[in-house]
Structure 1
Amino acid sequence: MADYNNGVPPERLDERQLIRELEAIHRTRHETLLYGSSDALRTHSSRMAALEGEYLRRHPQRRPAAGRTRAGARARAACV
């Protein structure tokens, strides 16, 4: 199991907190990738995976937007 010294375990977050954490971690991803230490990137990746995994666990029937599927990508490419 992951070490969450810097955050609440995702399964203990309510829905609003989980979404807020996901938004924050995605907002900081690029900067962490470009400028963070190897340890910071590893920690960030682990936390992001745990938060995303919890979201997917809670929402197994989520419906992807049509444009975010392979068929949607092909349709966009055909229009260009």
Structure 2
Amino acid sequence: MPNGVDPSDLTEDDLLRELGHLYATRMETLRHGSDNAFSEHTRRMNQYEAEYVRRRPGREVDPERLRAGARAR
């Protein structure tokens, strides 16, 4: 990995903190970051999200977040 800590090396608390920071800075990076900064932000966000999903393969999914739930609304 060229930059940053490998997400698989993070503790649970650290992973959640890093994800929170990425989400908090997303709009600012989109609106005001360089193309390179936005690309790097996206790359890191994808890495952290993939690690979160890897750790929780059976995570609870809200039925309202599924296509059938959307149709029911």
Question: TM-score, normalising length from structure 1?
Answer: 0.84
Please identify the structure whose Cα radius of gyration is greater: 1
Q: Which runs of 5+ in 2 are unaligned?
A: none
Report the residue type matching 1:3 in the other structure.
P
**Poorly superposed stretches of 4+, deviation over 4 Å:** none
- CA–CA distance in structure 1, aligned partners of residues 2 and 43 of structure 2: 9
In the alignment, structure 1 residue 34 sits paired with structure 2 residue 31: yes
Q: Percent identity?
A: 48
Instruction: Calculate the aligned-residue CA RMSD, in Å.
Output: 1.0
Aligned to 2:65: 68
- How do 1:1-80 residues align onto structure 2 when only pairs under 5 Å count? 2-4=1-3, 7-76=4-73
Tell me the number of residue pairs that the alignment of Structure 1 and Structure 2 aligns.
73
Question: TM-score, normalising length from structure 2?
Answer: 0.91
Q: Which runs of 5+ in 1 are unaligned?
A: none
